[in-house]
Amino acid sequence: MKNNKSQAAIFLIIGIVMIMVVASLFLLTRYSIKKSTKQEAIESKESVFDIQPIKNFVTECLDSTSKEALTLLGKQGGYLFKSQGGMLIGYQDQDEGLFFINYTNSKVVYNILKPGNSAGDYYATVPNYPWITFPYESDLVTENFFAKGAFGTNNMPPLNKSFGPYSLQEQLTEYTTNNMDNCLDFSIFEEQGFSISKKDKTIRVDINDNDIIFRMNYNIEIENLVSNEKTTINEFLVKQNIRLGKLHDFANNLIESDISHINFSIAENTGADHFAVNIVRDQYNKDDIVIITDLDSQGTRKYTYTFSRKNRNPVLYYLTPEDLEDLTKPTYIDGTTDLTIIDIDDLITNYPEPLKALDPDEDIITADDFSIKTIDGKGLPVELSISPMKFKVNVTDGELEDFQIITVTRIP
pLDDT digit string (tens) for 95-141? 999 999 999 999 999 999 999 988 888 999 999 999 999 999 877 77
pLDDT bucket at 316, cuts 50 / 70 / 90: very high
β pairing state of 287-294 and 275-284: antiparallel
pLDDT bucket at 38, cuts 50 / 70 / 90: very low
Q: What pLDDT sits at residue 43?
A: 46
Q: What pLDDT sits at residue 45?
A: 42
Q: Which residues contact 287 (CB under 8 A, 6 or more apart)?
A: 97, 101, 110, 308, 309, 310, 311
- HSE-up of 170 (CA within 13 Å, CB side)? 15
Q: Which residues contact 311 (CB under 8 A, 6 or more apart)?
A: 285, 286, 287, 288, 361, 363, 397, 399, 400
128-175 pLDDT, tens per residue?
A: 999 999 999 877 778 999 999 999 999 999 999 999 999 999 999 999
For 78, 94, 114, the CA distances from 98, given in Å and listed in that order, are 17, 9, 11
Q: Say if residues 112 and 118 touch (Cβ distance below 8 Å).
A: no
What's the predicted TM-score (pTM) here? 0.83
356-411 pLDDT, tens per residue?
A: 999 999 999 999 999 999 999 999 999 888 888 899 999 999 999 999 999 988 77
Q: What pLDDT sits at residue 154?
A: 97
- Rounded distance between C-alpha atoms, residue 55 and residue 234, angstroms: 9
Q: Using a pLDDT cut of 70, give the percent of the chain over it.
A: 83
Q: Using a pLDDT cut of 90, give the percent of the chain over it.
A: 66
Q: Say if residues 217 and 170 touch (Cβ distance below 8 Å).
A: no
Burial 99-126 (b: 16+ CB within 10 A, else e): bbbebeebbbbbbbbbbeeeeeebbbeb
pLDDT higher than threshold 90 for residue 340: no
Tabulate helix, strand, coil % of the chain (nearest 5): 30, 30, 40
